[in-house]
Structure 1
Amino acid sequence: MTAHRNFKRQVRARAAKTGESYTSALRHFRPTPAGDLVPDARTPGSVRLAVAQTPVREDPRDAAALRGSGRQVRALMREAGASGARIVHFPEGAICAPHKRVMSVDGPDAVGPADWDRCQWPVLQAELASIAELARELRLWTVIASAHRLTEPHRPHNSLYVISDRGEVVTRYDERLLSKTKVSYLYSPGSSPVTFDVDGVRFGCLLGMEIHYPELFAEYERLDVDCVLLSTTGVSPGNAAAQAQGHAAANSYWLSFSVPTQHSATAPAGVIAPNGDWLSRCPVDGSPSLAVVDLDDAAEAAAEAVTHARPWRRAARAGAHAGHRVADPRSEDRTAAF
């Protein structure tokens, strides 16, 4: 406890000296398992994040609907820019989430291989280009979901484009662990995690059904991300929100949970702190909207999750407990009496 008090005292001293918030100051240090303080190998900055909920349309043949989705995305981008956000994050299907029966070559009464020639690719690409141009104008990093076309005969990826504040696609995340329907009929799976930095804050991306795979969230913890951006169309949305809280708390990082407006009554979009608490959520009334959060301005309890829980869990996984094991027959005997 003394080491813990000393640690907090040093963090507060830095905050008083620099004018930083407690949360921002403490992220310049990491305690070792022995309780000593060491400088963090990377000193994350601060960033204002806006997470969006938007209506999802399911027919990529409908050019007017695609354009309507693009207009809605750009309206929320302008709202995010006016709020001072540096990055805005949209749900899976923000432009379109093609429905398996709309795409099926076997017709709407049976699910079969997708006919991607039905997609209005020129319209979709024009909307994405307009989104990128607005990102440049607003100086706003934008993470937007879309199908990513591959060379025939390969199916597209289900992807998240990361567009920088210069309007350039700097990387792209492709959903890796797809549902059975997606991988059988709709998409080609991706192959790797993706990270990117904005103002010293490191982000990772996950998409769709990947909420159900804790190993993907643990992978991003090992990659030292500060915030995971999860975009989904909503799989049992209330359950997915609870899972998202668990992933954030287990890995001690922020998690941006972006879902469609259709699920807002039970699971509105929002941002989860590193201790699993919701920091901000969108309205539950089904309206297209944003939740805006400063990632360096969480509660002290959330900040301590980053500074204490995360390094200690890393140490435990690396074998820090081994030196405390004992050679005792009663330890080895699994049927020993009380």
Structure 2
Amino acid sequence: MTAHRNFKRQVRARAAKTGESYTSALRHFRPTPPGDVMSEARNPKSVRLAVAQTPVREDPRDVDALRESGRQVRVLMREASARGARIVHFPEGAICFPHKLVMSVDGPQAVGPADWDRCQWPVLQAELAAIAELAGELRLWTVIASVHRLTEPNRPHNSLYVISDRGEVVTRYDERLLSRTKVSYLYSPGSSPVTFDVDGVRFGCLLGIEIHYPELFAEYEKLDVDCVLLSTTGVRPGNAAAQAQGHAAANSYWVSFSVPTQHSATAPSGVIAPGGDWLERCPADGSPAVAVVDLDDGSEAAAESVTYARPWRRESRAGRYAGHQVTDPRSEDRTVAF
């Protein structure tokens, strides 16, 4: 470990002396041979991401609340744009997170099937349309959570809309692994992962309690994403934040963690580097805010994980060790002591 730390000091010293990025200095010490699995690092990718925290309101019958949510989203979109972001990411329920008791036909004291006729659909759709229009004006990719209406009698999806910098919905992610209450009473589950690219950086989307399913994060690693956008509201926030750090480190990609302001005291929204460390977080005081970071695989925060750890794991999983396995009596007999 001492040798490793000394090596990193040498790389930093060269970067400081020459003005190179950490990755450029690293290549001076470890040149990448032609055709090597790490050769993609020769063309670093970068995009500026803003992650938001907003108040989540739980009654889709409340027209004023829906409009206030839309207004707050647009305020933060403008702030993200003013700070140079190319993409902004919002939490689950950014416009409304319908409460199970508010929606229940057996409520408000008991949970039952949701009555989606209670939702003010025209107001919700008008707010989403205004958000899309502003995304086009600001040239800002916007990932916003909302309920996605299906043909009756099907229940809606719990979704993330991906709105391009031209103000167009280019794809939508529907939460797949729903909670017991969501799947029993509220929503129809989705069926597939979703990826999209902004300035050469590839994003994947997850929602709600999907933080608890490492196989979904591993699936996105196989799909070659650079960053997973996780929007959540219905889990213990401190626990979810720790899990998000673990998923980022295990898969060597960024994780954007977006939660409501109600959770900010224990787990504010923020962005996690591929090594598992927080890069930037929103305030922990309950205020609506955005945290802005550059997702740059040429940065020191990403270089080692993206350039070396991730390709090595892929090589290992592809059978790297098969040629090194041996046949030996002391290996086969597991009762041999010492």
Checking the alignment, whether the CA contact within 8 Å between 1:21 and 1:297 is kept in structure 2 is: no
Shift of 1:30: 10
Counterparts of 2:256 and 2:213, CA distance in 1: 16
Q: Over residues 293-330 of structure 1, what are the superposed CA-to-partner deviations in whole Å (9 max), with x where a residue is unaligned?
A: 01117752532111111011111111111111110122
**CA 1:252–1:70 in structure 2 vs 1: closer, same or farther (change >3 Å)?**
same
Query: Which residue is equivalent to 2:158?
Result: 158
Letter in 2 for 1:172: R
TM-score norm. by structure 1 comes to 0.90
Query: Which residue is equivalent to 1:205?
Result: 205
Checking the alignment, whether the CA contact within 8 Å between 1:194 and 1:204 is kept in structure 2 is: yes
Query: Which residue is equivalent to 1:220?
Result: 220
Counterparts of 1:30 and 1:166, CA distance in 2: 40
Q: Tell me the number of residue pairs that the alignment of Structure 1 and Structure 2 aligns.
A: 328
Query: Which residue is equivalent to 2:46?
Result: 46
Query: Which residue is equivalent to 2:113?
Result: 113
What is the RMSD of the two structures over their aligned residues, measured on CA atoms? 2.7
Counterparts of 1:229 and 1:205, CA distance in 2: 5
**CA 1:174–1:232 in structure 2 vs 1: closer, same or farther (change >3 Å)?**
same
Letter in 2 for 1:79: E
Checking the alignment, whether the CA contact within 8 Å between 1:43 and 1:200 is kept in structure 2 is: no
Query: Which residue is equivalent to 2:77?
Result: 77
Counterparts of 1:24 and 1:99, CA distance in 2: 50
Shift of 1:25: 8.9
**CA 1:26–1:292 in structure 2 vs 1: closer, same or farther (change >3 Å)?**
farther
Shift of 1:21: 3.1
Query: Which residue is equivalent to 1:86?
Result: 86
Counterparts of 1:106 and 1:24, CA distance in 2: 62
Checking the alignment, whether the CA contact within 8 Å between 1:30 and 1:307 is kept in structure 2 is: no
Query: Which residue is equivalent to 1:296?
Result: 296
Shift of 1:37: 6.5
Checking the alignment, whether the CA contact within 8 Å between 1:244 and 1:257 is kept in structure 2 is: yes
**CA 1:139–1:301 in structure 2 vs 1: closer, same or farther (change >3 Å)?**
closer
Checking the alignment, whether the CA contact within 8 Å between 1:55 and 1:262 is kept in structure 2 is: yes
Letter in 2 for 1:168: E
Shift of 1:102: 0.5
Shift of 1:43: 4.4
Q: Over residues 184-222 of structure 1, what are the superposed CA-to-partner deviations in whole Å (9 max), with x where a residue is unaligned?
A: 110000010000000110000000010000000000000
Please state whether the residue corresponding to 1:134 is helix, strand or coil.
helix
Query: Which residue is equivalent to 1:320?
Result: 320
Counterparts of 1:326 and 1:72, CA distance in 2: 62
Letter in 2 for 1:186: L
Mapped pair 1:126 → 2:126: yes
Please state whether the residue corresponding to 1:183 is helix, strand or coil.
helix
Checking the alignment, whether the CA contact within 8 Å between 2:283 and 2:289 is kept in structure 1 is: yes
**CA 1:44–1:101 in structure 2 vs 1: closer, same or farther (change >3 Å)?**
farther
Counterparts of 2:223 and 2:175, CA distance in 1: 18
**CA 1:298–1:118 in structure 2 vs 1: closer, same or farther (change >3 Å)?**
farther
Q: Where does structure 1 lack aligned partners over 5 or more consecutive residues?
A: none
Checking the alignment, whether the CA contact within 8 Å between 1:103 and 1:114 is kept in structure 2 is: yes
Shift of 1:332: 1.6
Q: Over residues 232-284 of structure 1, what are the superposed CA-to-partner deviations in whole Å (9 max), with x where a residue is unaligned?
A: 01411101000000000000000100000000010000000000000000000
Query: Which residue is equivalent to 2:173?
Result: 173
Letter in 2 for 1:93: G
Counterparts of 2:164 and 2:204, CA distance in 1: 15
Letter in 2 for 1:287: S
Q: Where does structure 2 lack aligned partners over 5 or more consecutive residues?
A: none
Q: Over residues 84-137 of structure 1, what are the superposed CA-to-partner deviations in whole Å (9 max), with x where a residue is unaligned?
A: 000000000000000111111111111111000000000000000000000001
Shift of 1:44: 5.4
Moved >4 Å (runs of 4+): 23-27, 29-32, 35-38, 41-44
Counterparts of 2:236 and 2:298, CA distance in 1: 28
Query: Which residue is equivalent to 2:305?
Result: 305
Checking the alignment, whether the CA contact within 8 Å between 1:30 and 1:40 is kept in structure 2 is: no
Query: Which residue is equivalent to 1:148?
Result: 148
Counterparts of 2:116 and 2:106, CA distance in 1: 13
Counterparts of 1:116 and 1:24, CA distance in 2: 55
Q: Percent identity?
A: 84
**CA 1:41–1:295 in structure 2 vs 1: closer, same or farther (change >3 Å)?**
closer
Mapped pair 1:283 → 2:283: yes
Please state whether the residue corresponding to 2:46 is helix, strand or coil.
coil
Query: Which residue is equivalent to 1:246?
Result: 246
Counterparts of 2:32 and 2:324, CA distance in 1: 19
Shift of 1:179: 0.4
Please state whether the residue corresponding to 1:66 is helix, strand or coil.
helix
TM-score norm. by structure 2 comes to 0.90
Query: Which residue is equivalent to 1:193?
Result: 193
Letter in 1 for 2:282: C
